[in-house]
Every structure is written in C-alpha cells, then in structure tokens.
Chain A
Amino acid sequence: MKYLSLIWDGIWRKRGRAILTGLQVLVAFVLFGLLQGMKSGIDDAIDKIGADLYIVQHATGFSPMPLAMYSRLVAVPGVRAAAYESFLAGTYQKPTQHVLAVACDQDSISATIPHGAIVPPAAVDAMKRTRSGVLVSESLARKYGWKTGDRIPLETSVLRQDGSLTWTFDMVGTFVPGEQSLSPDFMIINYTSFDEARTVDRGTVAMYYVRVTDPKQGLAVAQAIDKLFLNSSDETRTESARESIQATLESLGDMDFVVRAIVGAVLFALLFSITAMMMQSIRERTAELALLKTLGFSDGKLFWIVLCEVLTLCIVAAALGLALATWVLPTARHFTNINVTMPASVVLAGLGLAALLAVVTAAVPARRLQVVDALAGR
C-alpha cells in the first residue's frame, strides 16, 4: 500500500492519455455489458421458470386441442394442477399497436400460475362476475393509460357470432406479471365467454399448462400425458416450459454467434490499443523506472507497479462502463418487449475480463531495464 502514490502518479502522468484510454475501456465494456447482458438476461429469465411447469401442445404444430382433454389431464398421476389458454391477438386503435389477450379459466390459472403473474383475489372475483371482463398487466395499462372501468376494443382476425371482428372488453383490474415473464405486456380475458362468442375453433384451447408434483418425475409425467393421447387425432407433445421457450427463441438464430463475434472484435481492438499506450508510457518513463531500480526496486516490483496502474485503470473504467450498461439495459424493453435486467454474473465476468486485459497488457512491455542504458537516456 506504500506504493499507492507511485501507482497513482503513474496513471495520471499524462492526464489526457489516461482519460482517453479509460474512456475507450468504458465504451468497450458498455457494449460488452449490453450484448452479453441481453443474452444472459434472457437465459436467466428462462431459468427462473419453475422446473415443475410443463406445456402441452398439439404434436403437429399450432393446432388447437379439445377442451375435453382437460379432465383427463388433471387425472394423470403426478399432475398437481392444470390450466388451459386460448389466444386472441389484436390491435388497439392503430394497426401497429399489437395487444395479446389470453383467454383462460380464472380458478385453474390461479392454481397453476403459468406466467408467474400475481392476480389479487379481488380481481379474480371481479373477472368471474363480469363475463366481458379483462385484467390488464400493469405495464400495458400504463402504456395506453387504461383504468378500471374503461372499455377496450380490439381489432382482430377472429370472427364473432355477431359478424364483427371487433372484440370489446371491460377492464376490471390489473395484475403484476411474473419475474420470469419475458413479455410482460398482455391481458387476461374469460375463456367461457370468449369461446361462446367466436365462430372458429370452438370448444378448443391453444395450450395446456401442467404443474407436476415432483419435478424429478416431470419427464415421466410428460410421457404419460403424451401416451394418453397417442394415436388419437389430437396427439400431444408435452415438454418442460423451459425447453419450449428455448425452442421459440431459437428463431433468433445465430445471434449467439454474432454477439460473440462482436464482443471478440471489440476486446481484441481494445487489447491492441491499451498495449500500445502502455508501451509508449513505459518508453517515456525509462529514466524514472531506471532511477527506481538504482534505489533498490527489483524488476519484479517494477512489474507489479506497472501492472497495478493498468489494473486500476481498466477495472475502474470497466466498472463504470458496466454500470452504464446496467442502467441502459431495461430500456431495451421499449424496442423489443423483452424484459431483462443485468445479471450479476455478466458484471463479474466483465470485471474479470478487464483484469485479464490488464495483465496481458502489462506483461508485454515489461522487460529487464538496464540501469546504465536507462540513465543514459537510451
């Protein structure tokens, strides 16, 4: 710690250069934080989905399944609770403002909580009392300024019995979407009245959710469910919710590779840049370093001092960059409707990378200093 002032002076020897190098590191780690944070944030959200949650879908694509399957599903041993959902996709006021309504039975949803959404019991009661009722997620209600009591019309492509494509609902309350919900903006409507009013796919649901009593037996229960409906016209494919979402995100394709390529390129360029700056700095300070050597500092100690300088600069700048990225990341939801927060693992990985960068950078210019050469100004 007695070398602290030496290290500090070393960093700020050329103030402009220190600031510029620091800013470079900061910018690089903002990018690292945003890209890696987005990717890891999504992975983390998927992990938060309970291991006991399974999704039952039609085996061959996006076909609806009969509601009659529900009673057979609940009777399968190992199933703790089950729920069903149908979807109504529409637009509100403008063709670009998309809204998704999820039609379900309130009691079974409360027992299964497939989206981790917290619905207050008062709201559940209100939904049961109002056939055309709708519960809106808090963020969605804020987005369009909806309040309880509002009438919300949706333009859809689903034809109603009365011949219209417009579905109108009465807002009876709000709910808080679960932490693991990647897309937290949706509304909940009553399945019974939705099914009665539509002309297509009547008596069917889009998917079933199942909570198993023991996650370790999950695979066995899933297979039992699929066996139940094998060779019928409604064969099912039951998989854990985590796997299902990963398959959906698969459509984001090679983004993984792209992110890694970008981060790699950025860090590579940064490495080069900082190494060059350090070499320049050491070359300029040859006389000073040689003086320190005559005073008794060993080569090793000098290397440590140089290393600490680079380390401090890199880690502080990286920390600031990662902090900025953490602050900016949640705003991504405005563009992509994906809700992520910066995982701590990414911040730690970033700091680790910064330290590694510093070590590699410092190792290059560190070479034996000949006292005579140095004092002679060579």
Chain B
Amino acid sequence: MTQFRQIAALLQLSLSGIPQRLGTSLVTVIGIACVVGVLISMLSMGSGLRRIAIQNNRADRAVVSSKGAQSLFASNLSTSTLAVVESAPGIKKDAEGKPLATAYVAVLVNTRRKSNHVRSISALFGVTTQFFKVYPEVEITAGRTFRPGLHELIAGKKRYEQFEGLEVGDKIRVRGADWTVVGNFSANGGGLEDLLLADADTVASAFGRTTMQTVTVLLDSPQKYDEFAGALKANPALEVDVKHEAEWSATITKTTTGILDFISYFVGTVMAIGASLGALNVMYSIIDARKREIATLRAIGFGGGPIVVSVLLESVLLSLPGALLGAAIAWAWFNGNTVHPFGTSIPLAITPALVILGIVWALVIGLIGGILPALRSARVSVTTALRAT
C-alpha cells in the first residue's frame, strides 16, 4: 500500500472510532471553541477601531499637524501657521474661490452614559466654516447645523445614541453657559460620528484657546499631495508635519489599537497554551487507549510514518469544529454590539478575516496537541503493546 492510502485508511479507522470516544473528543472541541471565541471577540475590538479610523479616509485629503504630534490634543497650530497652510498650492477651491481647508479646536465636555448614568467625557470640536465641504460624508440627520457665534452644537450618531441629553432641543452645560443641541449628524460610520461639533470661534473664546489643533485640506486631486506637502516642508518658518489622511488616522489610533491588540493576543496565547495542554492530554490518552490497536496495525504492516501522520491529522481535524463553534459563539454574542474602551465607541464586527485567523490558531493548537503523542505512538515496541492490557 502506498503511504497515502495507508494514511487514508488509518484516518478512516480512527475517525470512525470517535463516537466511542465522544467524551474526550468533545473536550478538545470545547476547549478550542473557548480559545477561538475569546480571541476573535477581543481582536474584533482592535480591528473595529482600525476600521472606523480608515472608514472615510480619502486619498485627496491631507492633515497638517504640529511637528512630532502623535495625538489630536498634542498638536497646536497658531493662526499665522493656519494662514500659510491655507495659501499653499494644490488645495481645491470652492465656487467662491476659497480654499477647502478646515481647522478645529478640541475640548472636552461632560456627558452621562445612557446605560449606567455614569459621568463620562465627550470630545467637542470647534470647526471652521469650510468643514462640511472638506468632509462631505457628514450629513445632518435631524434638526439643523449650528450657527456661528451662538452657543449651538450638533451631536454625532455614536454620541447621541449612547449618551444622555444629546437629542435635538436638549441643552448641555459648557463653561457656565447652556449650549443647545440643534441637530444630529451621521458620517458614514467614520470616527467623526463619535464627536460633538460647534463653531470654532465660539468654542475657542469659551475655553480661552489661542491655537487650533490640526488642519485638514481637500486637495485638487491625490496627485497634488506632493506639491502641497513639499511647499509646506520647504517653508523654514513652519514646524509642521504633513500626512495623508490615512497616515494621520493610523498615527492617532496607534496607541489604542496597540493596547487592544496586545491584550487580545496575550490572553489568546495564554488560553491557547492551556488548550494545547488539554489537547496533548486528550491525544495521549487516546493513544494510550488504542495501544493494542496501533500495535496490531503495525504488526500487520502499516508503516510508522503513516501512523504518525494519521494521528497528527486526527488531532488537527478535531480542532476544526472547535474553531467553527468558537467563531459562531463570538459572532452570536458580539457581532453588532458596541463597546467603549478608552472613551471611543467601537461597533464590533466578526469578519471573515478574523474567523480565518481563529481557525489557524485552532489548527496550531491541534498540531501542538498531536505531534508528541503521534511520535510516541510510532515508537512503542510492537510486542510490548500487544501484551498491554
């Protein structure tokens, strides 16, 4: 018999014996299901955050921040810098010939979570007049937009859904004055939906701010980026960084996604170690129980190699239903839910990519759990095994 036919025959033999060993097989399946379920659920946080960050990114938008700034609040640009940026080449102009550039000042206000009434902070961006032209994905879904010079603001989808008092007509207290929520907006699922927006000058004077955080420009075309960035970098009076919108999104979410991913992989790895030990345990006891069977097979001529491979394959195949079960549970429990780590709102989505990662993780566990018992099964001396009880 060729190697492959031997392996196929052995595999058929051992798989048909699973109903007798349902208990131990179930153990492996459940153990792996737990690992995969937890890993996928946790990783969906990091991937969810990354998805929101790049959701609305466009190749023809660029962000200018102060040199070395790694986060929204760390960047500060003076009014003179803003003027220089707005007059740079490559920026698209609107119908009146004004450059499509918008800057914002970021402040924090107190809001209350709807679910548990605990006080929680929200970010309020004071934005300049061209904001809606630079970010056309922002749509007013209720009420109207704010008017400059007045204490008015609009609330993004993720904010008014999760936090109290942000519907049209509600008032929130900001710096000793009542500000009215005059509208709600959506932004195609992007990070802007997690914000409150108001007029830049009104926010700046209320909070005593003299600088803005960053400037976003809409370029004539993606090809104009180099001209735009080059002009700003060549200017010796400016201390700024210019980035594609996608680059900037990656920079500001780096720390949070880093932490979320680290925790996910750490927990996933520790659980995988536990599951591997469990799989090892199960496979060793299976081999032990089938000692006579394996010895008989060897006595009648099955090679050591095919036996090793068939045991390994059995272990790996057992891990597949576990992976699928874990993915199914993760999907049923978490898909569509929103979590709020570090103040951001992340809708979770169990994507095919995550499921595949979970399956690979499970296969590795199956491999680790199967290889040592597989090697041992082929090494036991035939005569000793046949005498075993």
Please list the residues of chain A having a beta carbon within 8 angstroms of any beta carbon in chain B: 14, 16-17, 20-21, 23-24, 27-28, 30-31, 35, 58-63, 95-96, 157, 159, 200-201, 233-235, 246-247, 250-255, 258, 261-262, 265-266, 268-270, 272-273, 276-277, 279-280, 335-336
Q: Which residue of A lies closest to B176 (CB)?
A: A233
B31, B174, B282: the one within 8 Å of A61 (CB): B174
A269 cross-chain contacts in B, Cβ below 8 A: 30-31, 33-35, 274-275, 278
A200 cross-chain contacts in B, Cβ below 8 A: 208, 210
* Cα(A28)–Cα(B278), bound, Å: 11
The reply to whether the CB of B281 lies closer than 8 angstroms to some CB of chain A is yes
B31, B70, B267, B277: the one within 8 Å of A262 (CB): B267
* Cα(A257)–Cα(B31), bound, Å: 21
* Cα(A95)–Cα(B33), bound, Å: 42
Q: Is the interface of B mostly helix, strand, loop or mixed?
A: helix
B108, B173, B176, B208: the one within 8 Å of A201 (CB): B208
B341 touches A273 (CB 8 A): no
A336 cross-chain contacts in B, Cβ below 8 A: 259
Contacts beyond the supplied A254-B341, A265-B38: 15 A-B pairs with Cβ under 8 Å: A31-B274, A61-B109, A61-B110, A61-B175, A95-B68, A96-B70, A200-B210, A246-B118, A251-B342, A253-B341, A258-B339, A261-B41, A270-B274, A273-B31, A276-B282
Instruction: Please give the distance in Å from B255's CB to the nearest CB on chain A.
Output: 9
Q: 7 tightest A-B contacts by CB?
A: A253-B340, A269-B34, A95-B68, A27-B274, A276-B27, A20-B281, A265-B34
Q: Which residue of A lies closest to B268 (CB)?
A: A262
A250 touches B113 (CB 8 A): yes
A262 cross-chain contacts in B, Cβ below 8 A: 38, 42, 267, 271
Q: Which residue of B lies closest to A90 (CB)?
A: B74
A201 cross-chain contacts in B, Cβ below 8 A: 208
A266 touches B274 (CB 8 A): yes
* Cα(A336)–Cα(B282), bound, Å: 38
A63 cross-chain contacts in B, Cβ below 8 A: 175-176, 207
The reply to whether the CB of B186 lies closer than 8 angstroms to some CB of chain A is no
The reply to whether the CB of B120 lies closer than 8 angstroms to some CB of chain A is yes
The reply to whether the CB of B295 lies closer than 8 angstroms to some CB of chain A is no
Most central of A62, A273, A277 by chain B CB within 10 Å: A273
* Cα(A280)–Cα(B282), bound, Å: 10
A253 touches B27 (CB 8 A): no
> Do A95 and B69 contact each other (CB < 8 Å), given the known contacts A20-B284, A24-B281, A273-B281?
yes
B278 touches A250 (CB 8 A): no
A250 touches B208 (CB 8 A): no
Q: When each residue 215-244 of chain B gets 1 if its CB lies under 8 Å from chain A and 0 otherwise, what string results? A: 000000000000000000000000000000
The reply to whether the CB of B23 lies closer than 8 angstroms to some CB of chain A is yes
The reply to whether the CB of B356 lies closer than 8 angstroms to some CB of chain A is no
B176 touches A60 (CB 8 A): yes
B275 cross-chain contacts in A, Cβ below 8 A: 269
* Cα(A96)–Cα(B71), bound, Å: 10
The reply to whether the CB of B253 lies closer than 8 angstroms to some CB of chain A is no
* Cα(A58)–Cα(B175), bound, Å: 8
* Cα(A327)–Cα(B339), bound, Å: 31
B339 touches A250 (CB 8 A): no
A27 cross-chain contacts in B, Cβ below 8 A: 270, 273-274, 277
B271 cross-chain contacts in A, Cβ below 8 A: 31, 262, 265-266
Instruction: Please give the distance in Å from A112's CB to the nearest CB on chain B.
Output: 24
Interface residues of B in 12-38 (CB under 8 A from A): 23-24, 26-27, 30-31, 33-35, 37-38
B267 touches A247 (CB 8 A): no
Q: Which residue of A lies closest to B284 (CB)?
A: A16
Subset of 18 A-B contacts with CB under 8 Å: A59-B176, A60-B109, A60-B174, A60-B175, A61-B109, A61-B174, A157-B211, A233-B176, A234-B176, A246-B118, A247-B119, A247-B120, A251-B343, A252-B342, A269-B275, A276-B27, A280-B23, A280-B24
Instruction: Please give the distance in Å from B127's CB to the nearest CB on chain A.
Output: 19
The reply to whether the CB of B262 lies closer than 8 angstroms to some CB of chain A is yes
A62 cross-chain contacts in B, Cβ below 8 A: 107-108
B74 touches A157 (CB 8 A): yes
* Cα(A270)–Cα(B174), bound, Å: 51
* Cα(A210)–Cα(B389), bound, Å: 77
Instruction: Please give the distance in Å from B132's CB to the nearest CB on chain A.
Output: 26
A251 touches B120 (CB 8 A): yes
Q: When each residue 82-110 of chain B gets 1 if its CB lies under 8 Å from chain A and 0 otherwise, what string results? A: 00000000000000000000000001111
A59 touches B173 (CB 8 A): yes
Instruction: Please give the distance in Å from A297's CB to the nearest CB on chain B.
Output: 23
Instruction: Please give the distance in Å from A46's CB to the nearest CB on chain B.
Output: 14
B113 touches A24 (CB 8 A): no
Instruction: Please give the distance in Å from A89's CB to the nearest CB on chain B.
Output: 9
> Do A60 and B110 contact each other (CB < 8 Å), given the known contacts A24-B274, A252-B341?
yes
> Do A277 and B120 contact each other (CB < 8 Å), given the known contacts A28-B274, A262-B267?
no
* Cα(A269)–Cα(B28), bound, Å: 9
A157 touches B76 (CB 8 A): yes
A235 cross-chain contacts in B, Cβ below 8 A: 176
The reply to whether the CB of B200 lies closer than 8 angstroms to some CB of chain A is no
> Do A254 and B340 contact each other (CB < 8 Å), given the known contacts A23-B277, A95-B70, A272-B26?
yes
Most central of B26, B210, B275 by chain A CB within 10 Å: B275
Q: When each residue 332-355 of chain B gets 1 if its CB lies under 8 Å from chain A and 0 otherwise, what string results? A: 000000011111000000000000
* Cα(A96)–Cα(B70), bound, Å: 8
B210, B281, B339: the one within 8 Å of A17 (CB): B281
> Do A251 and B121 contact each other (CB < 8 Å), given the known contacts A31-B271, A266-B274?
yes
* Cα(A21)–Cα(B31), bound, Å: 13
A30 cross-chain contacts in B, Cβ below 8 A: 270
B188 cross-chain contacts in A, Cβ below 8 A: none
A247 cross-chain contacts in B, Cβ below 8 A: 118-120
The reply to whether the CB of B383 lies closer than 8 angstroms to some CB of chain A is no
Q: Which residue of A lies closest to B27 (CB)?
A: A276
B262 cross-chain contacts in A, Cβ below 8 A: 335
* Cα(A113)–Cα(B267), bound, Å: 38
* Cα(A246)–Cα(B119), bound, Å: 10
Instruction: Please give the distance in Å from B246's CB to the nearest CB on chain A.
Output: 20
* Cα(A159)–Cα(B208), bound, Å: 13
B41 cross-chain contacts in A, Cβ below 8 A: 261
Q: When each residue 37-73 of chain B gets 1 if its CB lies under 8 Å from chain A and 0 otherwise, what string results? A: 1100110000000000000000000000000111000
The reply to whether the CB of B285 lies closer than 8 angstroms to some CB of chain A is yes
A280 touches B31 (CB 8 A): no
B342 cross-chain contacts in A, Cβ below 8 A: 251-253
* Cα(A265)–Cα(B274), bound, Å: 12
Instruction: Please give the distance in Å from A202's CB to the nearest CB on chain B.
Output: 10
Instruction: Please give the distance in Å from B151's CB to the nearest CB on chain A.
Output: 12
Instruction: Please give the distance in Å from A244's CB to the nearest CB on chain B.
Output: 9
The reply to whether the CB of B7 lies closer than 8 angstroms to some CB of chain A is no
* Cα(A363)–Cα(B282), bound, Å: 21
Q: Which residue of A lies closest to B24 (CB)?
A: A276
* Cα(A290)–Cα(B37), bound, Å: 42
